[in-house]
Amino acid sequence: MCRIAGIIAPNFSSTQLKHQITLMCDSMIHGGPDDFGVIIDEQKKVGLGNRRLSILDLSSAGHQPMFNDDEQIAITHNGEIYNFKILRDQLIQNGFQFKTDTDTEVIIKAYQFWGENAFEKLNGIFAFCLHDKIKNCFYLVRDQSGVKPLYYSNSIDHFTFASEVKAFEYSGITQQPNENWKIYYLAFGHIPEPFTTLKNVYSLPKGSFLKYQLNDGSFKIQPYFQFSSAIQIIDEDEAIIRIKEELNKAIKLQLISDSTIGVLFSGGLDSSIITVLADTYAKGNLTSISANFDEIDFSESSYRRIISERVEASHREHMITYRDFVYNFDTILKNMDQPTNDGINTWFVCKCAKENGLKSVLSGLGADELFGGYPSFDRIRKIQNLGKLSKELIKSARFLKNTKLNRLYYLSFQSPVGEYLCLRGLYTPDIIAKLLEIDVQTVINCLQNIPLNDSIRYLNDEERASWFEMNMYMQNQLLKDTDFMSMSHGVEVRVPFLDVNFVNLVTSIHPSIKFGVYQKKRLLIEAYKKELPEQIWNRSKMGFTFPFQEWIKKNKDISSPDLYQNKKAKKLITSFNNNNLHWSSAFALYKVFHAS
C-alpha cells in the first residue's frame, strides 16, 4: 500500500522533474511513511515516484518504483494484489523467476506475459502506473471496484498523475480551481467522479486503464473489466451456498500480510460477519478496533460484547468524546483530500488502529449497497412513480418548506442523476444558487450534465437503488473518504464485500431473492444465521454513526450564524440550531464558506 505520483514533461529538466515528483510524494507521506523512491527516464522525460507503506515483503526488496529484470518496464504501485501468489505460481510455471516476495513484481511479470490482459487477472485493490520503454507508452490502471483512487491531468506540455488531488498543487504546473466544485458539493455532499476541485484533474474510472503514447502525447481510456449484469442464480439455497463460498474466499485472501492486521468492528451485521470469519482464518492473530461514545444512543458496545466473547481476536475499544472531536477537527479537515460530508468517523477509528500497531484492517463496507441495507431501497419505487407526474407539478416542490420534500424537485431532471439527488441530495438548485449567488439555471445545467453510465436506464426498483448506492454514494463518497482518511494515518482498509468475484456473484443473483421486502439484507442474514446470534441479525440498522448533530451544534466555530455573511447560509445554520436541518447539510455550509 502506497501513494504514487508521476509527471511526463518534455520541457522539464531531469532535475526539475525529480524535484517536483519528490514534492508531490512528500505531500502524501502520511500514506507511505516507510520508504520513498523516484526514477527518471531522462530521454523521455518520464518520472515516477512512490511513497511506500510496507505490508508485503517488508525488506528493501519491495522498494519502488520497481523495474523488471532488463529495466525496460518500470512500475509504481499503490494497493494489494490478493491473488498474487496464485499468479506468481502460474508465471513460474511459464519460466519466470522472481527476486522478491512482493505483489508488485508479479504485476510487472504478469504484464510481460499477458500484456494488457493481465489487468483483468488481478484481484485486489490497486492503482498503478506501468512504463513500457519497448512500446514507448505507459499505463494507468485502477481496480475493478474503484477502491484505490487515481487522478490524472493532461495539457499540451504535461501529463501528471497522483493518488491524491492535493498532490497536483506540488507538480510545478499551474492548477486552476474547478468553478463547479461548490455546486457539486452542495448538491451531493461530495465531488462526483470524474470531477475534482481542480479544473483539469480527473479521476480514472474504476475497472479501466489509460494508455498514453509517448511519441505523440495521445491517450485513450478503456475498460478492462465490467461486472456481470446477467441473472444466473434464481434458487435461494444455491445463492446462500455461493455467497458463503465467495465471501469466505475473499476474507481468507485479504488476510495476507507481512505486518499486523485487524478489523473495524462496529457491532453491526456486516462487521460482525467479517470479524467472525476473519477470526476463523487468522487463528488468534487478529485485533478488532471499535469506537465508543459517552452518548449512549450511539453506543453499540452491548452488541460488540456478544461477538467478542465468541472469537479469539483481541478487542480494542476507544472512547471518542466531543473534546476529541474539537481537538482534532482542524487536522481532520486538512486530511480531507476532497470536500466531503463523511469520513470523520473513519478518521477516528483508523487513528485507533494506528495506535494499536495496525497497518491493515478489514471493513464491512459494501454489504448495504449490494444487499439493500439503506432506506433508498424502500423509497425507490415511490420516487420512480412520482417521476411520472408532470414536470411542472414536480418543479413546484421547490417551494415546499420541508427540506426533504424540496428534493422532489430533482425528479424534473432529464438525467437519472435527479433520482439520486432526490434520494440523497443535500440542497436543491434554487438554494444552491442563493448560497453561491449565481443563476439557478447554471446550477441545473451543471448537475444535469454529470455523465452517468447508460446501464442505469435499464434497471428498476431495488436493482436501480443498488446501482445508485454502488456507483454514486459508495464510489464517490464512502470509498474516497475511507481511503484518504485511513491513509492519513498510514492504515490500509480492505473491503471483502467488494472482492471482484464476490460482487460478480451477487450481481448475478435474481433480485427477487437478493433483496428482502420485510427484512433488510435478508439473503445475507440467511447465509450467516448459524454463525451469528439472533441479537446481531434481528435488530434495526444503526449504521456507523457518530453524535455529530450534537457535537457540531455545540461547536460555535461551526454553528454560529454570525459566521455566515450570506443571508441564506445564515438562515440555514439557524435552522440547524433549531434541529430542523441535518448536521451534514450544516457541515457542507461550513466547508464552502470557511474551510474551502
Residues 165 and 18 in one domain: yes
The pLDDT value recorded for residue 54 is: 65
- Does 364 appear as a known binding residue? yes
Residues 502 and 574 in one domain: no
CA torsion sign for 104, 109, 112, 118 is: negative
Q: What is the pLDDT of residue 596?
A: 59
Residues 520 and 561 in one domain: no
The answer on 150 and 73 residing in a single domain is: yes
- Given a cut of 50, the residues of the chain with pLDDT beneath it are none
Residue 219 lies in a domain: yes
* Confidence at residue 231, expressed as pLDDT on a 0 to 100 scale: 86
Distance CA 198, CA 201 (A): 5
* 292 and 365 in a common domain: yes
Q: Tell me what pLDDT residue 577 has.
A: 95
Asked whether residue 216 falls in the same domain as residue 242, the answer is no
264 in a known ligand binding site: yes
**Do both 193 and 257 map to the same domain?**
no
Under 8 Å CB-to-CB from 360, ≥6 apart: which residues? 1, 55, 257, 259, 260, 261, 262, 491, 492, 493, 494
Domain assignment of residue 137, yes or no = yes
585 marked ligand binding residue: no
Element spanning 570, H or E? helix 567-577
Q: Indicate if 117 and 253 belong to the same structural domain.
A: no
The verdict on 115 and 170 lying in the same domain is: yes
Q: Check whether 532 is labelled as a binding-site residue.
A: no
- For residue 509, the model assigns a pLDDT of 95
pLDDT of residue 253: 93
Question: CA–CA separation, 328 vs 338, rounded Å?
Answer: 18
- Of the listed 2, 129, 350, 422, which one is catalytic? 2
Domain limit, last residue, from 504, 519, 546: 546
Cα distances (Å, whole numbers) of residue 389 to 159, 379, 526: 47, 16, 38
Q: What is the pTM of this model?
A: 0.94
Q: Check whether residue 258 and residue 196 sit in a common domain.
A: no
> Does the active-site annotation cover 446?
no
Is the domain of 481 the same as that of 560?
no
Q: Which domain holds residue 196?
A: 2-223
Answer whether 461's CB lies under 8 Å from 419's CB.
Answer: no
**Three-state secondary structure string covering 449-468:** CCCCCHHHHHCCHHHHHHHH
Q: Quote the CA–CA distance of 262 and 277 in Å, as a whole number.
A: 12
CA angle 258, 259, 262 (to 5 degrees): 120
Looking at residue 539, what is its pLDDT? Answer: 67
> Contact at 8 Å (CB) between 418 and 411?
yes
d(CA 349, CA 291): 6
Q: Please tell me the predicted confidence (pLDDT) of residue 1.
A: 65
Give the pairing of strands 73-81 and 124-132.
Answer: antiparallel
